[in-house]
Amino acid sequence: MGLTSPVQKEAEKSILLTSVEKMGRWAQKSSLWPATFGLACCAIEMMSVTNSRYDLARFGSEVFRASPRQADLMIVAGRVSQKMAPVLRTIWEQMPEPKWVISMGACASSGGVFDNYAIIQGVDHVVPVDVYVPGCPPNPEALMFGILKLQEMILEGVPPKYLQLQKEEEALARESQ
Ligand code: SF4
């Protein structure tokens, strides 16, 4: 026992044991690529998170992609009009799986002050939402907190919301048979 003790101590410091699944989740959460997609004033706060003051790059989520096919995170920053809803849905559908959605601000989450016929009263009517960030507008720190919460969920293995909904629908279909 005495002979292996220093070896054991060294091994504890330098060897990391994990599973392929956990490693994959760690890689996913550490390299979220948001789609470049802003709808209103909240988008200005969203853009701020990548600048040197807030430096979202510290958390590996600053690579905003111009193509949805290269993005796995949609940040809905601003109010969603009826006209924009199908466009937003198409962009979300073009994103590869697994993918996540953050609803940023009161307008995206509930329509905010725009309680009228032109604005969707919550983007969850259009795409499944994983994390809601409250505020009008949420400041960059709040958005970063939301992104960190999403990263925690990914690391813990919480499935994206659209997969949860799919499972619920399948269970309901089985029950109704
Ligand atoms: S929540 Fe406030 S800041 Fe964000 S889009 Fe709506 S009105 Fe603008």
The DSSP letter of residue 112 is: T
Residue nearest to atom 3 of ligand 1 (CA): 137
Summarize the confidence of residues 4-32 as an average pLDDT. Answer: 88
CB atoms within 10 A of CB 167: 11
Note the pLDDT of residue 112: 94
Torsion sign (Cα): 27, 29, 31, 34:
positive
Tell me if 161 CB under 6 Å of ligand 1.
no
Residue 137 preceded by cis peptide, ω within 30: yes
What does the block give as tokens for 41? Answer: 């004033």
Note the pLDDT of residue 119: 97
In Å, how far from its chain's centre is CA 93?
15
Tell me if 79 CB under 6 Å of ligand 1.
yes
* pLDDT band (50, 70, 90) for residue 2: low
* pLDDT band (50, 70, 90) for residue 37: confident
Residue 47 to residue 62: CA distance in whole angstroms = 10
Ligand 1 centroid to Cα of residue 21, in Å, is 38
User: Looking at this protein, which amino acid is placed at residue 66?
Assistant: A
Ligand 1 centroid to Cα of residue 44, in Å, is 10
Note the pLDDT of residue 16: 83
- Is 46's pLDDT higher than 70? yes
* pLDDT tens by residue, 55-93: 999 999 999 999 999 999 999 999 999 999 999 999 999
Ligand 1 centroid to Cα of residue 134, in Å, is 10
Spatial CB neighbours of 72, under 8 Å, sequence gap ≥ 6: 28, 32, 33, 95, 96, 98, 99, 100
Tell me if 148 CB under 6 Å of ligand 1.
no
Q: Which of 151, 35, 144 is nearest to 88 (CA)?
A: 35
**What CATH number has the domain spanning 28-176?**
3.40.50.12280
